[in-house]
Amino acid sequence: MKTGIFGGSFNPVHNGHIYLANTCIEQFGLDRVYLVPSKISPHRSDDEYVPEQDRLEMLKIACRGNSKLVVSSYELNAFRVSYSIYTVEHFRRKFPDDTLYLLTGGDMLMSFESWYRFEDILKNAVVCAVPRNEGERKNLVTKAERLGEYGKILVADVPPLVVSSTEIRKKIEKNENFSCYLDENVVQYIKSRELYRIKS
Ligand code: ATP
C-alpha cells in the first residue's frame, strides 16, 4: 500500500489541508493518508490554541465522507511533543511493507534540512510537497533536486490554495466571515463551541 502521513497543528483544519491531502492522493496514487495532529508544547499561548480534543474533532469532521483520509491520535497520545521522524518510524513499524509518503506544504520543504534527523526521514519515506503560494513551485523543484542525494522528493504540479490557520484565526478575532475556508460542519463546530473567542 502507498500510505501518506500528514502532520500539522490543524488549528483549525482548513480547505488547504484537505486540498494538500487530496492532491497527493491524486498525483502520487496514494491509497490512504493519515492526518496526525501535533501536540502543542505547554508554553504556547492558550488563546491561540484550542484544546487538542477540539483540534482532533474538527479534523475528524473535515475527513468524514472521504474513506482515504484517516485521523491518527498518535502524536497527541505521545508523552511529549513528537518529531516527524518518530511519527514516520511509528508508521514504519505499523506498516512494514508499505511505501510511506510524508506530506508537507511548500513552506516546510524549504526548511527541510533543519528538521530533526531529516536524512532518516528520507530513508523511510518519500517526501511530497504541495505549493502554498503562486510561483513557488520552481523553487520547490530546485530544493527537491538539491535534497535528492538523501532520498526521493515529489513536488505536486497544482495551483496553490492560499489559506492558513493563522489567517482564519485572525478573521474570527476581527469578526470577519471565514466560512469559505473551512468545511461547513467545522464552521458549525467552531460556532457551537465558541472556539477562537468567536463572537456570537
Ligand atoms: P498556521 O497558520 O497556524 O501556522 P497552517 O495553515 O500553516 O497553520 P499547519 O497545521 O501548521 O497549518 O500546517 C500543516 C501542514 O499543512 C504544513 O506542512 C503546511 O505547510 C501545510 N499547509 C497548510 N496550509 C496549506 C495550504 N493552503 N496549501 C498547502 N499546504 C498547506
Confidence of residue 49 (pLDDT cuts 50, 70, 90): confident
What single letter denotes the amino acid at residue 188?
A: Q
**SS3 (DSSP) at 134:** coil
> What's the CA-to-centroid distance between 113 and ligand 1, angstroms?
18
Ligand 1 and 105: CB distance under 6 A: yes
Q: Is residue 29 part of a domain?
A: yes
The answer to whether residue 145 sits within a structural domain is yes
Q: Where are the beta strands (DSSP E) in the chain?
A: 2-8, 32-37, 69-71, 99-105, 125-130, 153-155
109 lines ligand 1 (CB under 6 A): no
Residue 133's CATH number: 3.40.50.620
- 126 inside domain: yes
Q: Give the number of domains in the chain.
A: 1
Task: Give the domain range for residue 93.
Answer: 2-10+16-159
Ligand 1 pocket, residue 20 CB under 6 Å: yes
- 33 found inside a domain: yes
User: The whole model's pTM is what?
Assistant: 0.96
Let me know if residue 164 belongs to a domain: no
Q: Is residue 63 part of a domain?
A: yes
Q: Are 109 and 156 in contact (CB under 8 A)?
A: no
- Which percentage of the chain shows pLDDT scores above 70? 96
Q: Would 91 be classed as within a structural domain?
A: yes
Q: 55-71 pLDDT, tens per residue?
A: 999 999 999 999 999 99
Does ligand 1 lie within 6 Å of residue 196's CB atom? Answer: no
Q: Indicate if ligand 1 lies below 6 Å from the C-beta of 102.
A: no
Q: For all residues of the chain together, what is the average pLDDT? A: 94
Q: How confident is the model at residue 200 (pLDDT cuts 50, 70, 90)?
A: low
Q: How far is the CA of 104 from the centre of ligand 1 (A)?
A: 8
